[in-house]
A = this chain, B = another copy of it.
Amino acid sequence: MYDIAVIGSGPAGLSAAINAKIRNKNVIIFGQAELSAKLLKAPKINNYLGFPNISGKKLAEKFSKHLQSMGIEITQAQVKEIYPTGKDFGLYVGEEIITAKKVIIAIGVNFGAPILGEKELLGDGVGYCATCDAPLYKGKDIIIVGQGAFAEEEVKFCTEICGSVKYLPTYKLAEDFSIPDAEIIQDIPKEITKAGEKRTLICKKESYVADGIFILKQNAPPEQLCKGLALTGNHVQVDGNMETNIKGLFACGDITGLPYQYAKAIGQGQIAALYACND
């Protein structure tokens, strides 16, 4: 049982993690070793006080060093769903359930634009969690769209259960990539349609038919991540302490709304952590 689980390794999540750690809490933080793709791509940042004219890459290095100096390691796994028990939280991480007293959501807003038909067919042959639903597709044919290397473990797992697995990566595969039992599709997904029990993934070059289609995003959108979470548009509602409508569940950074800025995210991460540290 962790004291605090932080989901997301952008500036908000990192700030939450260091602030909770300083308060001597047992913290786990889920994210990516490279921290934040958005941060890495920023050519020049000049509005985070103390770092004039720094590149996103350099700033990410500073953040990494801060984590290292405090012995914080990022757990590179995807949290599929958060279950509030009323007393604490269960987090579905791969095939494991991890428990935490408090949870801080700092997943940003970059969920990728949905494919046409994706939202309409969600839960009806289309899903975001292949690991969770793979047993329903035992011996059946599935297509997985993966938005990053984080998806590959899940694809591998599905090849052990499902009849056939087609994998469509929307990122550049590593040179040494290999999942022997998955068929790799190099195409651009456009739309998902339904015909009886079958679902069709219409791509730029070709169309593919299967029993189920999974779209694996770095982060599930918040309404998928935790049922009952109150939103305003795509943003999670929070109070002044960064607590959501679910007691013990906090949010910070871009996911809570505009402006999408580092200093703001870092400040909110701190607030979320400090209030999450209160019993």
CB 8 Å contact bits of A15-51 with B (1 = contact, 0 = none) = 1001100100000000000000000000000111111
Interface size bracket, A side: 35 or more
B-facing residues in A27-82 (Cβ within 8 Å) = 46-53, 59, 62-63, 65-66, 69-70
Copies of this protein, total: 2
How far, in Å, is A105 (CB) from chain B's closest CB? 17
Central interface residue in A18, A22, A69, by most chain B CB within 10 Å: A18
Binds B, one of A111-119, A124-132, A155-163, A266-274: A266-274
* A47 CB contact (under 8 Å) in B65, B268, B270: B270
In the complex, what distance in Å separates the CA atom of A70 from the CA atom of B52?
8
User: Given that A49-B11, A66-B50 are contacting pairs, would A268 and B267 also be in contact in the complex, using a CB cutoff of 8 Å?
Assistant: yes
* A263 CB contact (under 8 Å) in B59, B257, B269: B269
**Cβ contact within 8 Å between A264 and B270:** yes
Interface pairs (29), CB distance under 8 Å? A15-B47, A18-B46, A18-B49, A22-B46, A47-B270, A48-B50, A48-B266, A49-B66, A49-B266, A50-B51, A50-B59, A50-B63, A51-B62, A51-B66, A52-B65, A52-B66, A52-B69, A53-B69, A259-B270, A259-B271, A259-B274, A261-B270, A261-B274, A263-B266, A263-B267, A264-B267, A265-B267, A266-B267, A267-B268
